[in-house]
Amino acid sequence: MSYREEDYLQLSGIQHFAFCSRQWALIHLEHLWLENYQTAQGQLLHQRCHDANQDESRGDLLILRDLRVSSPTLGLSGACDVVEFHRNSQGISLQGRKGLWLPYPVEYKRGKPKPHQADELQLCAQAICLEEMLCCSIEEGSLFYGETRRRQPVAFDASLRQTVQEMATQMHQYAQRGYTPKVKPKKGCSACSLKDLCLPVLCKKRSAAKWTAEKLEEEA
């Protein structure tokens, strides 16, 4: 299966999808969070543009920032925060560089490691993109968390790769149908940035009229 470029979905959406497929659909299909999300994305990209000028080369290490990547098999495109290239006999050749280099993606996250696999899946999707673009195989990458100030290595094993593939397929199926999954309240809802738009409280055996009345009271 190979997707057409015009059908590519945002790679970073896989982390939303892994957290909650409804959240992903609200953001990426219904554009409910459009303004906030795109503003934040814009700022991030702006920052990344500056970072892109800060590529580094130190001996056996080459660091590229904000590297655009895509995968026809996943039908996803996006950017890697950082891709390190380590000089290694198992690596690939790079234009204008002597020797062989092994790519190693690193994704920066503001918080701390999460109880779910959303960040690992995003990083693995980046690795699959790099593999397809550079014709190589990448076994590991890292997540760097701002709160712990530590790198957490992530092995791109068969099971993680399969989950990425299955999620990307499901995202495309939902996108083609324009399907937004129904609300299924869960633990993560309280931390969800879309909870006010998604209204999970409506499912908790409260009538819409009661919920609306309570909201109006809160705002009075």
Give the nearer residue to ligand SF4 in terms of CB position, either 1 or 197: 197
CB 145 → ligand SF4: shortest distance, Å?
21
Binding mask 135-174 for ligand SF4 (x = CB under 6 A): ----------------------------------------
Q: Which of 117, 188, 202, 211 binds ligand SF4 (CB under 6 A)?
A: 188
Judged by CB under 6 A, which stretch of 15-23, 48-56, 64-72, 148-156 contacts ligand SF4? 15-23
Q: Which of 15, 23, 71, 122 binds ligand SF4 (CB under 6 A)?
A: 23
Alpha-carbon dihedral 127, 133, 138, 143, rounded to 10 degrees = -30
Judged by CB under 6 A, which stretch of 28-36, 145-153, 163-171, 192-200 contacts ligand SF4? 192-200
Q: Which of 129, 134, 138, 194 binds ligand SF4 (CB under 6 A)?
A: 194
CB 214 → ligand SF4: shortest distance, Å?
17
CB 20 → ligand SF4: shortest distance, Å?
3
Q: Which of 22, 28, 109, 172 binds ligand SF4 (CB under 6 A)?
A: 22
Of residues 58, 49, 57, 65, the one with CA closest to residue 108: 65
- The span from the CA of 99 to the CA of 88, in Å, is 8
The reply to whether 200 sits near ligand SF4 by the rule CB under 6 A is: yes
Give the nearer residue to ligand SF4 in terms of CB position, either 68 or 186: 186
- The span from the CA of 199 to the CA of 178, in Å, is 20
> Checking phi first, is residue 118 left (phi over 0); if not, alpha (psi -120 to 50) or beta?
alpha
Q: Which of 20, 36, 66, 89 binds ligand SF4 (CB under 6 A)?
A: 20
The reply to whether 12 sits near ligand SF4 by the rule CB under 6 A is: no
CB 164 within 8 A of CB 170: no
Q: Write out the residues near ligand SF4 by the rule CB under 6 A.
A: 20, 22-23, 26, 183-184, 186, 188-189, 192, 194-195, 198, 200
